[in-house]
Amino acid sequence: MSAEVQVLLRAVREALTIPLPALTSRDEASYGRLLQARVSDVRATIDALLAGGVTPEVAANVLHGWTTKSPVN
């Protein structure tokens, strides 16, 4: 596996690694919204890769940037 693909897979893992919420409904709702946004970001990244619009390196950088903009609070 190329280094670019490894970096991309790490970015996907980082994007989808969200700690489980506390037991309040507010925390669960926040968790759900964040997870939904992150999954959407990952799907968009994969779609761009499959369409040949970006390299794995660019996709990883974009995904990492999106993840950084929506940190786990």
Tell me the per-residue pLDDT of 16-73, one tens digit each, with 9 for 90 and over. 887 777 778 888 888 888 889 989 999 999 999 889 989 999 999 999 899 888 777 6
- Residue 4: pLDDT over 70: yes
Give pTM, 2 decimals. 0.75
Sequence-separated (6 or more) residues with CB below 8 Å from residue 68:
none
The distance from CA 49 to its chain's CA centroid, rounded to whole angstroms, is 14
Instruction: Note the pLDDT of residue 73.
Output: 64
Instruction: Note the pLDDT of residue 62.
Output: 92
Instruction: Note the pLDDT of residue 29.
Output: 85
Q: Which of 5, 17, 18, 73 is nearest to 45 (CA)?
A: 5
What would the two tokens of residue 57 be? 């390196």
